[in-house]
Structure 1
């Protein structure tokens, strides 16, 4: 599994334009399975830990509203970055990805992330 996640984060780094950071994190415990950042000042594990609260809040909101829905992804647009939180279909983990908004193609980035998310789901 460790080799798979290492390959996964390296593939994202190489194939996503504007890649800044990625982390794969378990929702129940908040434990980060794997993280990588190309910017030494950007702590991907810390960012994922804070974004775990965003995921939990959204899941709580869906439950409180009694919606028959599940979170697929959450996108946060900052001045120069886009942060995408892709929740697994099982709801057990999420992939947190930060990209430079001036370099990334959002549609392509989301498609790549969704593809990798399905692969991770089959491995976990």
Structure 2
């Protein structure tokens, strides 16, 4: 089982094109851990903003009476991919991983695969 710090480091090194990553509590919008980012990507602001995305999708699923779980949410920008992956382990309830990728360097399929693998090993 990986700690938050270990998992964030592995995401940044194992996923080609990773720009920044955060572990976020979508009940509060607070980032519990961040790594990467920079002047053009404030991960704390991104964490709070993407909390609204997760909440909106959960509300929409409830209204549609979809008895399913979010595997991931993908937002494509002209220069980046933004991935949101809610944690599935019992200890991760209410948390999600947020990953920003450089679109020119990232392999989206491999990034999704690696993020899923790392998330499965994360113990919060």
Do the two structures share a fold, i.e. TM-score over 0.5?
Answer: yes
If the length of structure 2 is used for normalisation, what is the TM-score? Answer: 0.89
Counterpart for residue 8 of structure 2: 9
Q: How much has 1:15 moved relative to structure 2?
A: 1.2
Superposed CA RMSD: 1.7
Distance 1:46 1:17 in 2: 23
Q: Which runs of 5+ in 1 are unaligned?
A: none
Task: Give CA-to-partner distance per residue, 1:32-87, whole Å, 9 cap, x none.
Answer: 11011243331112111101100000000000111111111000000010000001
Counterpart for residue 19 of structure 1: 18
Q: Does 1:55 align with 2:57?
A: no
Distance 2:37 2:53 in 1: 23
1:107 to 106, 109, 113: 109
Distance 1:54 1:21 in 2: 18
- Tell me how many residue pairs correspond in the alignment: 121
- Single out whichever of 107-116 and 31-40 deviates more from structure 2: 31-40
Contact 1:37 1:43 in 2 (8 A): no
If the length of structure 1 is used for normalisation, what is the TM-score? Answer: 0.89
Counterpart for residue 116 of structure 1: 118
Tell which has more relative contact order, 1 or 2 (C-alpha 8 A, sep 6+).
Answer: 2
Distance 2:69 2:20 in 1: 25
